[in-house]
Structure 1
């Protein structure tokens, strides 16, 4: 029997349509939030959130669908099959559960997104069309709208799940707004799917409607109830999510904070131990294990008291006191040291930080840093600050500290010795600074070795000056004994540049408190005593006395006066002839400087030449002598001669000045004197380094200047330079001539010098001849050239001219006339 199918038409309640859209929007927002929640949890909590999320999501979508269906009012009453209605709800909840479990993870692949979206779309579509089947009315579907509704469901599901994944991280305020906007779009898509599906439906009165067995519902009332219940449910869902987010945020912050703390704790280069009030170790880091050499297992449940066994004994008690103070709530910072498990010492900088909870100290952080290298560095700097870099001896700073402490302690009588190395400047100038340093290192080594075990403080003050503080336990005689030991040990030869060099020491001694109650006065008086030794021939020691102070004042006065003398007209020259013994003819003349002081009269060169050398005035003094001597000799040559050379003494400082050759050439050009009439007298000490000396002497000789070796036989250097250097004349020192008549040794030395000079084709001049007996002995030894008081003392220029030059000129004129 064919049934007539009558079309059923209906109208929509727009208020319920809007309600359905609101339900869809709220449900969408819930979905967006839930996926983020599920992805950040695990275990049972994840399962609970999955179920909760699936129910909320399914109920939301189902509610929207059912409200949408109830918003449609057909022209005939329609009953619903409640079992099928319930089935549609279950289908969407299950689909939501599966979809959320797929996409609710930290990483989301395209495959997972598509599969989750398709499952959710299938669930939504199935829910919609199963829900439609619950209506007790015949329904047919328009294929085009039916397919479109399915496509909309798929797109809406995939978009919803992707957006929920995309918005799970970032700034909280921004995420909320983005989720709200996305929920509005997704709500429209979900509602669009439903109403597209409704558009695909055509209702008919037929078999199904005639067999109405379902429940007839008051559509409007039921729609509002469902909408209200759904909104309340979703509201509770959102509220619970919000509360959970708050707790989760706090929990995340705490977790993040703990991770930061753990990272700082574990990766800190400083060793850290956490100790509770019972002194039990409840935490430690790897750095502490490395610092102590103890394995990690050792620290577990160990008492801090066990760790203190590794603290060095002298620091143990103080470290324990610091720890106890920190348990009292007071932070402590201090230095200590432990013995590493391998046996070496480790110096530590330690901070004890009390840990407080609710105002109560519950434990302690012990933070330890290895400062071993830092301490070694500080000690090295400290050592360098108080020790001489060249010799390693205490320096001036340490000496001053020791001396100041000794004076302040009121310990009574003690001695200060000032040691100056005689002739060091000659070694330094001639051999160079490298050998000068080697020499000073050897002197230091000898002094340290000799004074080892004595109650003294030895220091190098700088240059060749050393000081010694002798303890008060030594009396006057014992202090003198120490000075003698120093002089003896310094006097031993020094091997430098394959030659032996000899030096001496001059030592000045001042006694505290009689020679000075403060450091400045003590050192000043010791210096005064030392200079007295130098003045009296060096190589000795002298105790300070008040008379020495007067002499020092005189010397200071003399130095000041000498500066004025050099710039004024107080200096002048005397000339001492050199005579040929056979015919008493003058064969040369030596220029000797003199000083006429305005109040003290004529001052001996022996008094002012050493001052000039010490103060550097020797350059100006030497320049004056050389210039005046050359000028005078040129004047005598132009007045008729005789044409003989003039000898000028050259000091060691002048000899080693860098522009000596240029300086001499300029003076000769200025005076007009020919170079071969200038004879420069040098001493053996200038020959110490033949390589330096030979260059200077060869240049002077090439220019035409003659070289004479003064005071021959009194130096300490090797004779080998005689064959290497261009020396034209030897002068036998007066010390050998003085006792030549009585002393056979002096006679032997003089005879040897004369013979050696002749074999080396050198001229030889004996100086200091005062008696006929001395002259006869020298003549017998074939020494024909003489200089001394026997013939003439040094004379002013006019007396030399009257006594020697004028008679020689007259004799020369007479010989020419004959």
Structure 2
């Protein structure tokens, strides 16, 4: 059976058992403090191993709230580590160390599924759980064993919020459990065999090195040979110091009586050039009189796990679409750089640059998000090509990018960089056969003149970028103190614009459309104006871009459409000759799936016949063919006229 079948089978069992999915179940079996202490004592070695590798998981997922728990083979929770908020939340629900998970009481859960079907990595995402109180969580679990006898020991569980669910977590957990099983197996073997017998047994998966008390290598097992690429003939009788990097650790054991456990080392395999990562231990060897007779070193290959962790770290610090560093990585670089600069340890100035694409929303609205993604990837490639060795560019989200220039000698140096970056947009982008032009606006802020911390620098660079857009886009602007006042004015303008919609402060002017042959008026185009209660008539060039940026344009479009239809119907009722009224549609309005329904509803509401309404769209809006063709067919079916303006 597949995992999904096991989940369905469990939920069916819960249903037949009469469980109420809306109730929060309370565990029926709870260990006493003494029983829990005894069980933890039994599992002491297992818990220490799990905790070591569990900390590796928590470190690799730093920034993501996760709770890692350990259950024994009977489903009793023995240990919890990780996010305290999640821990406190489930503690309040009765889930804590010492309670037993059973399907009969707790419903469909990862603990019992992983123990019952120990050959599977289990994941329950949201509604996969039977009880609704877990529907906002994502849980993962993998059982672990003593691999020599397939003796089930328990299960390791990860819990996080639903929005952080990630299929890589179950892969990471499986990899970690494999490492835990190997470590537990090694420790079990060490308990059964004395150190000399283990050295003689060459069936371990670890590389083994043994030396005499002078540090000369006396044994080098075949796993050590496989991992290092060195033969016994090349190693026996030589000083252990020639083995890098493990030789120095073993030498310290002999000379200074040190012990090493779980030291992460890496080395290049001789002859192949491949890099191997291992966990390394080194201990002294004593005779029956406790006299030092040599040293023992072992190293086990964790390259796969290490590479998996590196991959997780990469994904956590890079944008999945463009492969550029993300906001998190950008801050990790800039914050310590600013700290060094504050202490006088950074010899030059620092500049950051905020880049935002001009009218990128139009691309998504007209060409579709897949083409928008393709454009972002091409832009990322061009931006990366402009970097110098010390520079950094990151995608902050959407169509926003942030540059870091850590070595700045003067303002003009950064100006040249900005001009070079803007020049990257002079050539068109090829998107599935279409040549598409787009520009960008840039804001620049300098440390320390424009801010002493990352938040202030980013705010000021953002403010300068928006000033570049206000000045006509496709340019850069360096931040200055007077811009802060302008930012407040923009916020005030947005607030007034929202109020204007509610207070009906907009008016329509109608520009007649003349037949040049007869001189007759054949129609009129509706043009929106804003009659501000304090400022008077406001130009659409001032408020339309802000409406598009804030999404208020859709409400304005619908108001214009309804008002123009009502006015045209009123003219007809007063005896004027019937004519068409033209209304411009924004790209955001045209991209809506329900556009035809909106137009039909307004025509029915106002009583205007469809042939007397003309909708104007731009040529760019028609480039998303999959959306355009059915939308135009629906509008044509209503009987309204469609005209296409030059873009």
Name the TM-score, length of structure 2 as normaliser: 0.65
Distance in 2, matches of 1:655 and 1:501, equals: 20
Distance 2:298 2:316 in 1: 32
Q: How far does the alpha carbon of each residue in 1:121-162 deviate from its partner, in whole angstroms, 9 at most, with x for none?
A: xxxxxxxxxxxxxxxxxxxxxxxxxxxxxxxxxxxxxxxxxx
Residue in 1 aligned with 2:615?
A: 680
Quick check: 1:508–1:526 contact (8 Å CA) kept in 2?
yes
In structure 2, the gaps of 5 or more residues are 1-191
Partners of 2:366 and 2:622 within 8 A in 1: yes
Q: Does the Cα contact within 8 Å between 1:326 and 1:352 map onto a contact in 2? A: no
Aligned residue number for residue 560 of structure 1: 495
The aligned counterpart of 1:639 is 574
Q: Deviations over 1:518-542 (max 9, x none)?
A: 2111111111111122122211111
Unaligned runs of 5+ in 1: 1-255, 716-818
Classify 1:359/1:310 alpha carbon distance in 2 versus 1 (closer, same or farther; 3 Å). Answer: closer
- Alpha-carbon distance in structure 1 between the residues aligned to 2:632 and 2:331: 45
- C-alpha contact (below 8 Å) 1:292/1:340 kept by paired residues: yes
Query: Is contact 1:327-1:354 (8 Å) kept?
Result: no
Encode CA deviations 1:284-314: one digit per residue, 9 max, x unaligned. Answer: 4332232223345556xx2362x54342xxx
Give distance in 2, aligned partners of 1:341 and 1:587.
86
Is 2:229 aligned against 1:293?
yes
Cα distance in 2, alignment partners of residues 643 and 618 from structure 1: 29
The CA deviation at 1:553 is: 0.9
- Alignment coverage as a number of residue pairs: 448
Contact 2:506 2:529 in 1 (8 A): yes
What does 1:228-267 align with in structure 2 at a 5 Å threshold? 261-262=197-198, 265-267=201-203
Partners of 2:391 and 2:231 lie apart in 1 by 50
1:346 partnered with 2:272: no
Compared CA separation, residues 498 and 257, structure 1 to 2 (3 A): closer
Shift, 1:690, TM fit: 4.2
Give the 3 Å change call, closer, same or farther, for CA 555–264 of structure 1 in structure 2.
farther
**C-alpha distance in structure 2 between counterparts of 1:326 and 1:615, whole Å:** 70
Secondary structure of the residue aligned to 2:408 is coil
Alignment of 1:135-154 (within 5 A): none
2:596 is the alignment partner of 1:661: yes
Residue 434 of structure 1 and its aligned partner are, at CA, apart by: 2.4
Matched, 1:367 2:303: no
CA gap 1:471/1:258 in 2 versus in 1, 3 angstroms: closer
Q: Is the 8 A contact 2:241 2:251 kept in 1?
A: no
Q: Alpha-carbon deviation of 1:635?
A: 2.2
8 Å contact kept, 2:250–2:283: no
Q: Which has the higher strand share?
A: 2
**Deviation at residue 429 of structure 1 after TM alignment:** 2.6
Which string of whole-angstrom CA distances, capped at 9 and with x for unpartnered residues, describes residues 737-790 of structure 1? xxxxxxxxxxxxxxxxxxxxxxxxxxxxxxxxxxxxxxxxxxxxxxxxxxxxxx
CA distance in 1 between counterparts of 2:233 and 2:405 reads 58
Secondary structure in 2 aligned to 1:451?
A: coil
Offset of 1:423 from its aligned partner? 2.9
In structure 2, the residue matched to 1:335 is: 264
Distance in 2, Cα, partners of 1:474 & 1:432: 43
Residues 1:309 and 2:242 are matched in the alignment: yes
Distance 2:230 2:426 in 1: 59
Measure how far apart 1:322 and its partner are.
5.6
Give 1:548 deviation, angstroms.
2.1
Inter-partner Cα distance in structure 2 for 1:652 and 1:437:
18
Contact 1:629–1:648 (8 Å) recurs in 2: yes
**Which of 513, 538, 551 is the aligned partner of 1:616?**
551
Q: From the CA coordinates, give the structure whose radius of gyration is larger.
A: 1
Q: RMSD between aligned alpha carbons?
A: 2.5
- Native 8 Å contact 2:350 2:406 kept in 1: yes
1:495 corresponding residue in structure 2: 430
The alignment partner of 1:390 has SS state of: coil
**Whole-Å Cα distance in 2 between the matches of residues 427 and 326 of structure 1?**
68
The structure in which a higher percent of residues are helix is 1
Cα distance per residue 1:528-571 (max 9 Å; x no partner): 11112212221111111223222211111111121222223323
Structure 2 match to 1:431: 367
Distance 2:252 2:302 in 1: 23
1:402 maps to what in 2?
A: 333
SS of structure 2 residue aligned to 1:273: strand
Q: 1:633-657 CA distances to partner (integer Å, 9 max, x unpaired)? A: 2222222232111111110001111
Aligned residues of 1:327 and 1:363 also touching (Cα < 8 A): no
How far the C-alpha of 1:283 sits from its partner, in A, is 4.1
Which residue pairs with 1:594 in the alignment? 529
What is the TM-score with the length of structure 1 in the denominator? 0.52
2:252 corresponds to: 324
Partners in 2 of 1:348 and 1:633 — Cα distance?
80
Q: Which position in structure 1 is the counterpart of 2:606?
A: 671
Determine if contact 1:595/1:603 at 8 Å carries over to the other structure: yes
In 1, the alpha carbon distance for the partners of 2:325 and 2:221 equals 44
- SS of equivalent residue, structure 2 residue 424: helix
Contact 1:415 1:511 (C-alpha < 8 Å) held by counterparts: yes
Corresponding position of 1:470? 405
Q: Distance in 2 between matches of 1:693 and 1:651?
A: 14
